[in-house]
Every structure is written in structure tokens, then in C-alpha cells.
Chains A and B, each alone.
Chain A
Amino acid sequence: MTRLTVNGAQHDVDADPDTPLLWVLRETVGLTGTKYGCGIAQCGACTVHIDGQAVRSCSLPLSAVAGKQIVTIEGLAKGDGLHPVQKTWLAMDVPQCGYCQSGMIMAVAALLREKPKPTDADIDAAITNICRCGTFQRVRAAIHATADA
């Protein structure tokens, strides 16, 4: 058993310690908002926050996250409302298919916590998620809009 704290709730997880956090979240904890895209930390669809940092959960074993604070897209907002990034995403219709957007939003939320007014260069460096629909123009605009809100 490994004890995890996910979105503030404790879970005792019975899974092989080598299991990537992504699959523990999706298949054991039952939170499917975090997506599988590549399994090799290339695409960022699986991005979650661990102790406040954006991390690609597909390449992080369960054994490495015991005792840490894990936040997924389902727990990003405080209470029933939306996180500021989610609000902007909704207002600006950023997602297309939406599959990569959980990871995109988590990466952006971490960036804005660290740099509340990111420059374009900050965005280029921090947001390396893949979006095959190609929402990048709106992602950039929505990051700036969130920062300016």
C-alpha cells in the first residue's frame, strides 16, 4: 500500500510501486482528467502538480510520490468554481478536441503561479505541451488574458 494525497484527499493505493503515477491516478484513484498521450514525457497531456510543480505523471513511478501533495485537473479549482486559467479557457474557447487541455491548463497554472506576468519568452520556455489540434495561438492569448485579469 502506498499512501497518496490527491487533491487534498488521502488514498491508500495497492499498485506495483513501478506503476507510473498517471496510471495510478486514472485506474486506481479513478481520476481520468489526466490523459495518456505518449508515455515518455514528450507531450504533457499527463501534467499534474506535485508539491506545486508541473510534472509529467506518465514517467514518474508511484514510489516517488508517496507523501507528496498531488493536484490534478479535477482539483485545480478551489471549491466548486473554476480556477482563473479555466475561466479564461472557457471564455476564450481555447480547447478544440480538448484531450491535451487538462495537461495544458495544469502547465499554465504552474507557470502563472511562478510568473504571474509571463512574457512570450517565458511561455515559449515553459509550455512545451503538444496539441495536435493546434490551439497554441489561443493558449498564448489566454495565458496573457489570465495574467491581465
Chain B
Amino acid sequence: MTTMPNIDRRSFLASSAALAGSAAAGLALGFHVPFADGASAAEAAPEVNAWVVIKPDDSVVIRIARSEMGQGSLTGLAQLVAEELECDWSKVSTEYPTPGQNIARNRVWKNFSTGGSRGIRESQDYVRKGGAAARIMLIQAAAGEWNVPVSECSAANSVITHQPSGRTVTFGKVAAKAATLEAPNDVPLKDPKDWKIIGKSVKRLDTADKVTGKQVYGADLTFPGMLSAAIRDCPVFGGRIKSFDAAKVETMRGVRHVVKVGDSAVAVVADTWWQAKTALDALPITWDEGANAEVSSDTIAAMLREGLDAKEAFVGNENGDVRAAIAGAAKTVEAVYSYPFQNHACMEPMNATARWTADRCEVWAPTQNGEAALAATAEAAGLPVAKCEVYKVHLGGGFGRRAMTDYVRQAVAIAKEMPDVWVKLLWSREEDMLHGRYHPVTQAKMVGALDASGNLTGLHMRISGQSIIAAVFPQNLVNGKDPVTFQGLNPTGAESTFGYTVPNLLIDHAMRNTHVPPGFWRGVNINQNCIYVECFMDELAHAAGQDPLAFRRKLMASHPKHLAVLDAVAARAEWDKPAPTGIHRGLAQIMGFGSYVAAVAEISINDKGRVKIHRIVAATDPGYAVNPDQISCQVEGSFVYGLSALLYQECTVKGGRIEQENFDTYNVLRIDEMPKVESVIVPSGGFWGGVGEPTIAVAAPAVLNAIFAATGKRIRSFPLTHHDLKSA
């Protein structure tokens, strides 16, 4: 539990005080700096435990280890703590502990990593226990002051009541005493039926500053004497800098320094970022592009095509004898699909602000993984972790991109060249587009076997393409296999199981990696896997002459939760009744990130072949729904992310580099194309699933299946802009 040895607390408070220098700079900007209040008034604002600080005025500060990037888990996590704490929700605010403090306190806040829709589902147990332990200690403190048995006291709405006498005291009055007590060993949690805050659509805690421009993002940070840096990394991945002519720009206005960053990048540091960027644009740079300059989208596609029939492949899910089933089928169906590279394109380009001195390095950064950012800082700084610190700020979008630390390393490397000076590194949109960690590129060959009655007797899904894990966490490969490739296709497990029972099944992966670096792109591998499976299920249903819903339902009897969300959207969309004239429907389902999701899309196509997506009905079963309104926000936004990808987005490779450099060639769905999304939340209880990502996966296949219903055309490569949908 959250027991904290006294020695740890002392060192924590001491190091908190040491933060005052950085904190003062932040406070001057008028935004809340983690621990600034606690450090200056540690005695007056006692930390009851690592998760809960209660001030004498009864205000409650809940510590949030995971990053907030728009997904709303800052609010959801606070709800979990507040539920067990029994505090007054209107008095709750939040703060980020720092990764350095986490290490100094033996990782009391556990994992900071914010990806894979894990923020709530993987920390729900210990953050609720953190709230419960604090409540127990507060009650114990009050009972001690009243000299009454703890069992006669209870807490609600930040007030402790001694039931027999009716005496009351607020949390703020006993928090200092509670902070001195031993943490309890036995911390029972509430029965979900007794929840009062979990499950409520309380308002987000972080909205007010986002409507007034006061919210400070990484790109907005300012420190006394701070300089700004613009950077250009070799546009061909793996290339290097041959030379650059700093003298050509050193006399330009505001320019302070031209810095080589690693082997492949150069940065200009100037008084303002605009000056830095202007000078960087004028800087003559010669690249050594290396062998990767020969690579193109075509050569990559050819490499992946070879993998579709390669002998060697990693098996992700297998039962029966699929080859025999295909050989003995009354009818076989075969199709090859492909999925392109895509950039996360967070609205706030990558950035980090660093100050390096001989014995300390500090970084302020929007990061999805504070601890990884700290490790990267220490490595780039050439200093021990204990002499480094990372301060997190809210992210202007993350989507998986900010799980990486490349931009943090760059900022530290530049700052190291200019000791004692704050340097803010901000990427241009072009740099952001050219140096993404792209959605992996894959192809899939699907072969289905149908018997004479149109039953699916065999399915072989061969994936060929990139492994994210091989590039990002090679230590997590299992005998060379990337288990994450099979997201949504697994035979068992609470994370992402395949929703169909097929008597003879083989899903395997021929790993074919490219020089273009892949990353965790919101939704990760279920994005393409759901297209491959759900569009092919439609193909099979069509070949069998069956309704797509009925065909699926026959295969889903052993997967009741998958089936329940599919049935929920079918019922809401009235699948059993004909669509209005001119409207065509498609559906899709998948399990991912611990949740079950399904969607029905309703579209029309005009005589110019333009798709209009009118309505989406989307169901989510996340087990427990912590904040239904915020789940709906994630579902609505997931369709924008997923449909932008389907309609427009592709990063193509020419001469070893990405061709799309800005939103003029990497388009995004806007409000005029936003369908009406009806979010149906069907929490079945008993488990905790993520909601930030799974719905993205069903967006594209539901629409693609509707496009087939409208046109009879199967789209098997993306984006849609490649295809003419005018009726034949």
C-alpha cells in the first residue's frame, strides 16, 4: 500500500523545496506548478498520503501520475480517489507528481506511462486504495481527537461524523494529524453499487483554462532568459549531416548559436523561435542520406507483398487445420488488404524546454511517459537520474506520439551546448510530419473457406509488415514474435480477444520491418486488424449470401460480450429494418484495450462519388464506466481520428523520406464532414476497459462496409482518396 517510511518523506519534502527555483518561474506565468504549494506550505497543507493532500480550508489536491492529453483521465482518476476518500467533489483539484519524486519515493505513484488506454484501467485499484487509506486515516485522526472508537465514526462529503454524539469535523481540521498516522494495512474498497462519484458524468477538472487561453502547454513555456530552438533532422531516416554553413546565418537577427544535434540534426538557437526558424530555413545543410534514400512506398509495398506468401511466419492464433479446410471448401474467398503509414499530427508540435548545468538538468515537457522522459533526460545530459527532473505539462494532443522521447533528448542535447540557459525546442509542423513515429505499414491476405451451406469453416489471415515492438521495445519480442501485432486477434485474454469462433483458424505474421520508424498510433494495431477482419467478414457474408449481422452472429455464440455490443448498435440503428432511401449501412465490432466496441455507419454517396457519413451508432462496454460523458467524448473524437485516417491520411515514402509535410497534403476531417455520433455505453461490470482508443478501429470498417452496400465496391487500400466511388 501507500505506506511511506519517514525517511522517504523527509527527502521528498527537502527535494520539493529545491524545486522552488523552477516553480517560481512557472508561478510567474500564472499556472499551477506541481508541488509549488505543497513545498512552500508543507506543514499547513499536509499530505495524508501520496495521493491526497488536504489543506486547512478543506480543499483537496489529488495527485495524478498519468498524463492528461485530452482523454479526460485526469478527471476520471480523481473521481476514483474521491469516491473512496468520501470528499466533497467541489473542493477537488489535481496536480502532477514528478517522475523524479516517484523514483525518490520508491515509485509510490507506480506507472506514469499514459498510453494503451491504460490510465484508468491499470491504476484503478491502487488509486482507489489511496483514497480509501486517506479516508481511514482521517477518520482515525478525528476519533483520536474525540477519544471515541473509530467504529462509531464515518466520513461523507469531506465531513467526519461521530454517529452517537452527532459531533462533526471537516477533513481540513484533522488532515495534519492524519498525516502523522501509520497507513492502514487493510483497505477494503466500496461495492460498485455504493459508488456516488464513479459512474457520474461530472465535469472535467481541466476545462476552465482551456477556454480562456490561460492553459500553458509545453510550446507556451517561458523562463527568464530563455532562448528558443528550431531543429532539422535528416529527412531521410538513418541519414546524417555531412556539413552545414553556420556562418551564413550566425549574423541574422536574434541568432545565438547553431548546434549540431547528434549525427543527424542541426538546430538554430535564437532569442525567439521565429528568428530561429527563419535562420534554420536559410541555413545551408548538406546531408549524407545513406542507403535508405533508395527506399520508396513501392519498394516497401513489394517487400510486404512477398511476406503474404512467405513460408516463415509467427503464429498468433491457431486452431484446427486451416489448410485442409480451405482445400476442402465448397467455396473460397480471397482478398489482399493494405494499410499505409500515418502521422499522429498532434495539434501541438513536439517540444521540450531544458536547462542543463554541470550538476543538474531540468526538463519541462508534454510527455505521455514522464519516467521515460526522465531517463532520456539523464542519458542525454550525461548526469545521474537523481540530478535530473522532468516536469510535466498538459499535452496538446498525444495519441501515442508523445510516448516517445526523441524530442526530449534533442532539447537536452541543445541545452547542454548552452549551460545554465533555458532553451525551448519547438518543432515546426514540417519537422513533426517528417519525423513521426508512424502508424505501422502492413498488408493482409485473407482466405476464407465456406461450406455448401455458407458456413465459415476456415479462415487464414496472413499479416505482413512492420512490428512496432521490434522498433520500440525489442526486449519485449517473444522469440522474435511481436505479440502486439495480434491485437484484437488473440485466442484468449482480457486485453483483445478475437470475437469469432472459426473451426479452422490461422492468424500469422510475416514480420517485414522498414527504415521508417513505427510508433503507437492511437488505436495501434487494432486499426488495421479490424479493417482486415471486419471488411473480410462482410466479403464472406456476401459470398455466402447472408446478412452481415446474421453471418457474424453465428460465429459469436462463445463471445457474448463482443456480441452484446454488436447487438446494441444493430438494435439502435434498427438494422432489421430497411435504411431510408439513399442511405446504406455497414457494421463492425472488435475488442481492444480491454473494452468491447461496435459501430453501425449510415452513409450516402452522391453522383460524383463523394461519401457522406450521416450517422454513426457506436456501443462501448468498458466494464465500468467511470465518467459516461467523457466516454462519449472519446467515442465521438475517435470517429474523427479514425475517419480522418480512412478518408485522407497517408504518409508516402519517396527517396527514403516522407512526402507529406503539412496539413495541406495530410488532410483531416473537419466539422462539415462530422457525422452525428450516437454513443451507446453498455457497461456490463466486473472489469475495467480503456476507452481512449478502441472505438477508432471500428470507424473505418463500418464505413467501408457501408460503401460496399452502396456501390458494390470493395476498398482494400487506403486512404479513400485513391478510389473512384462513382457508381459503375
Contact = CB atoms under 8 A, between A and B. Distances in A.
Interface of A: 15-16, 19-20, 23, 26-28, 30-40, 42-43, 45, 72-74, 77, 82, 86, 89-90, 93-102, 105, 123-125, 127-140
A140 B222 CA distance: 34
A82 B662 contact: no
Contacts of B668: 130, 132
Interface stretch (B151-159, B201-209, B555-563, B565-573): B201-209
B395 A130 contact: no
Nearest to A100: B347
Contacts of B278: 16
Contacts of B485: none
Nearest to B634: A96
Nearest to A137: B636
Given A123-B671, A128-B670, A130-B347, A20 B274 contact: yes
B637 A135 contact: yes
Contact of B674 (A23, A33, A90, A136): A136
B637 A96 contact: yes
Nearest to B348: A99
A132 B662 CA distance: 14
Contacts of B70: 95-98, 133
Contacts of A135: 633, 636-637
B46 to A, nearest CB: 32
Contact of A130 (B222, B394, B629, B670): B670
B272 to A, nearest CB: 4
B663 A133 contact: no
Query: What's the dominant secondary structure at chain B's contact region?
Result: loop
A89 B670 contact: no
Contacts of A123: 671
30 contacts: A15-B272, A16-B278, A27-B228, A27-B273, A31-B213, A33-B212, A35-B396, A38-B429, A38-B662, A39-B428, A43-B663, A94-B207, A96-B70, A97-B347, A99-B347, A124-B672, A128-B670, A131-B640, A132-B345, A132-B346, A132-B399, A133-B637, A134-B640, A136-B640, A136-B670, A136-B674, A137-B674, A138-B633, A138-B636, A140-B671
B127 interface: no
Contacts of A39: 428-429, 662
B168 interface: no
Interface string B388-428: 00000011111100000000000000000000000000101
A136 B671 contact: yes
B636 A134 contact: yes
A2 B428 CA distance: 26
Contacts of A124: 671-672
B663 A98 contact: no
A35 to B, nearest CB: 7
Which of A42, A124, A129, A134 has its CB near the most chain B CB atoms (within 10 A)?
A134
B326 interface: no
A21 to B, nearest CB: 11
B298 interface: no
B207 A90 contact: yes
Given A74-B213, A124-B671, A137-B676, A40 B204 contact: no
Query: What's the dominant secondary structure at chain A's contact region?
Result: loop
A36 B211 contact: no
B718 interface: no
Contacts of B346: 99, 132
B548 interface: no
Contact of A98 (B272, B394, B637): B394
B211 to A, nearest CB: 4
A32 B348 CA distance: 13
A31 B637 CA distance: 29
Contacts of B140: none
B69 A97 contact: yes
Nearest to B399: A132
A127 B671 contact: yes
Contacts of B426: 36
A93 B397 contact: no
Nearest to B213: A33
Which of B228, B272, B664 has its CB near the most chain A CB atoms (within 10 A)?
B272
Contact of B217 (A86, A99, A137): A99
B336 to A, nearest CB: 30
A42 B211 contact: no
Given A19-B274, A128-B670, A86 B69 contact: no
B193 interface: no
A33 B637 contact: no
Contacts of B217: 35, 99
A32 B29 CA distance: 10
Contacts of B345: 132
A96 B630 CA distance: 9
B670 A129 contact: yes
A27 B219 CA distance: 11
B641 interface: yes
Which of A19, A36, A42 has its CB near the most chain B CB atoms (within 10 A)?
A36
Given A37-B347, A127-B670, A137-B676, 15 more contacts: A28-B272, A34-B213, A36-B349, A36-B426, A73-B212, A74-B213, A95-B207, A97-B69, A100-B396, A127-B671, A131-B347, A132-B399, A133-B637, A135-B633, A136-B674
A123 to B, nearest CB: 6
A97 B640 contact: no
Interface in B589-638: 629-630, 633, 636-638
A8 to B, nearest CB: 16
Which of B72, B428, B636, B672 has its CB near the most chain A CB atoms (within 10 A)?
B672
Interface string B182-216: 00000000000000000000011011111111111
A35 B641 contact: no
A140 B640 CA distance: 14
Nearest to B214: A33
A16 B274 CA distance: 10
A24 B564 CA distance: 55
A138 B663 CA distance: 23
Which of B207, B210, B253 has its CB near the most chain A CB atoms (within 10 A)?
B210
Contacts of A94: 207, 211
B629 to A, nearest CB: 7
Given A27-B272, A35-B348, A16 B637 contact: no
Given A38-B429, A40-B662, A137-B636, A97 B397 contact: yes
Contacts of A19: 274
Nearest to A36: B219
A32 B347 contact: no
B677 interface: yes
Contact of B212 (A77, A100, A127): A77
Nearest to A88: B211
Given A19-B274, A35-B347, A43-B347, A98 B662 contact: no
Nearest to A98: B210
Contact of A45 (B208, B253, B347, B669): B347
B71 interface: yes
A25 to B, nearest CB: 10
A107 B269 CA distance: 33
Contacts of B395: 97
A32 B220 contact: yes
B532 interface: no
